[in-house]
Amino acid sequence: MTISQDILETVNKKQSIDVALIWKTIRRFILYILMILAVLWSVLPLAWVLISSLKPDTETYAFAQDQNILPQEPTFDNYQTLFKVTRFGLWLRNSTLMATGTTLAVVFFGAMAAYSLTRFKIPGFELFSRLTLIAYMMPPIILIVPLFFLLFRLGLVNSLWGLFLVYTATRLPFGIWLLRSYFIGIPQELEDAAMVDGATRFQAFYRVILPQALPGMISTGIFVFSVTWHEFLFASILLFSPSKQTLSAGVATFLSEDWIYSWGMLMAAGVMISLPLVLFYMFLQRYLIAGWGGGGLKG
């Protein structure tokens, strides 16, 4: 609908339709088709999960025969089963705590560190930057055994606090690396000008640099939240009581069983794991686009 309006507008603007205009219209039409294809490619599989989570298992098993895409009798039974039969509610709570805490810690400490690394020429900082990069590239798998020793010594094995520390420390290098690239992009002159005008460095940072770096901090936050929310390896090895498990590691136990208890219930689990993330992201996405559109446009 909006597509044809757009084309009509383009057409109505000019009195005479020349070849260039036709070309332009065709080009725009193709661009719109491509845009729709890109969106479908991205969301169709996920839409299928949502749809299937609302179907009773009898409909799911009949799909190959009757090819009914939409649920004939939509139901929330799968969700009820999920919370009643499994410990899903508990895993949901644990993952929420981990992802939120880690995001806040990484954005806060990461912005501090990134600012420090880009603005002050102190001996040893360059070395630390390199070390940070190395820490950041660490395959998580290499850390499993040593971290187990370390957390054991600290009495933090099988504890959500221990996992929180591990998450924050292993996500910080990326946070610093990404934030650094944003801080480097902010001209030093902006800050210097504020300081010449009588601002302290803190004021310059808070009033001038921070607003400029906000899109970077939001991008970092979105990233850290999503990777921590679905983290599997550390959680599956560093936590072993079923009551302390997080979402990915918990749901993975369904997949490692020899038979699938109920596909509908698994799809409901998929929706539940994705939903808070998607809502959170949509809320922040507006800031992200605002940041992309304005403020960031500098020569």
Partner 1 sequence: MSEKRKKQVFNPLDALLQLDISDRKLGLLLLAPAAILITAFALYPIVQGLIVSLNSVNFATLETSFIGIDNYAAVLQDGDFWDSAWRTIWYVLITNFFTLIIGMAISLLLHQELVGRNIARGLVLFPYLVPAIVIALTWRFMLDPTLGVLNAWLVDWNIIDRPIAFLTRPQTAMFVVIFASIWKYTPFMIIMFLARLQVIPLELEEAAKLDGASSWQIFWKITIPWMLPVIIIALLLRTIWTFNEFEMVYLFNFGGPLSATTTLPVYVRDLASEARNLGQAAAAATLMLGLLLVMAWGYFKLYARAEQELY
Within positions 104 to 143, which residues make up the interface with partner 1, using CB under 8 A? 109-110, 112-113, 115-117, 119-120, 122, 125, 128, 131-143
Least Å distance between CB 160 and partner 1? 15
Among positions 71-90, residues that touch partner 1 (CB under 8 A) are none
The number of residues that bind partner 1 (CB under 8 A) is 105
Least Å distance between CB 281 and partner 1? 5
Phi, psi (deg, nearest 5) at residue 142? -70, -25
Least Å distance between CB 190 and partner 1? 15
Least Å distance between CB 139 and partner 1? 4
| Residue 177 CA: distances (Å) to CA of 53, 143, 174, 181, 184 | 39, 20, 5, 7, 11
Picking from 238, 292, 240, 248, the residue whose alpha carbon sits closest to that of residue 270 is: 248
- Taking the least distance from each CB to partner 1, the nearer of 43 and 193 is 43
- Taking the least distance from each CB to partner 1, the nearer of 17 and 252 is 252
Among 42, 189, 197, 283, binds partner 1 (CB under 8 A): 42
Question: What string of H, E and C letters represents the secondary structure of 26-53?
Answer: HHHHHHHHHHHHHHHHHHHHHHHHHHHH
Among positions 46-65, residues that touch partner 1 (CB under 8 A) are 46, 48-49, 52, 60-61, 63-64
Collect all residues with Cβ–Cβ distance below 8 Å to 298 and sequence separation of at least 6.
187
Q: Which stretch binds partner 1 (CB under 8 A): 13-21, 28-36, 72-80, 82-90?
A: 28-36
Among positions 148-167, residues that touch partner 1 (CB under 8 A) are 149-150, 152, 165-166
The helix-helix angle for 263-293 and 77-85 (nearest 10°) equals 100
Collect all residues with Cβ–Cβ distance below 8 Å to 251 and sequence separation of at least 6.
88, 91, 266, 269, 273
Least Å distance between CB 67 and partner 1? 7
**Cβ atoms of 107 and 175 closer than 8 Å:** yes
In the block, tokens 């039974």 appear at: 77
Least Å distance between CB 138 and partner 1? 6
Among positions 257-286, residues that touch partner 1 (CB under 8 A) are 263, 266-267, 269-270, 273-274, 277-278, 281-282, 285
Least Å distance between CB 15 and partner 1? 23
- Return the amino acid letter for 100: T
Residue 196 touches partner 1, criterion: CB under 8 A:
no
Q: What number of CA atoms fall less than 13 Å from residue 28's CA on the CB side?
A: 16
Among 79, 173, 186, 245, binds partner 1 (CB under 8 A): 173
What's the rounded Cα separation, in Å, for the pair 226 and 237? 20
Least Å distance between CB 61 and partner 1? 5
Residue 221 touches partner 1, criterion: CB under 8 A:
no
Burial zone of 198 (CB within 10 Å; 0-12 exposed, 13-18 middle, 19+ buried): exposed
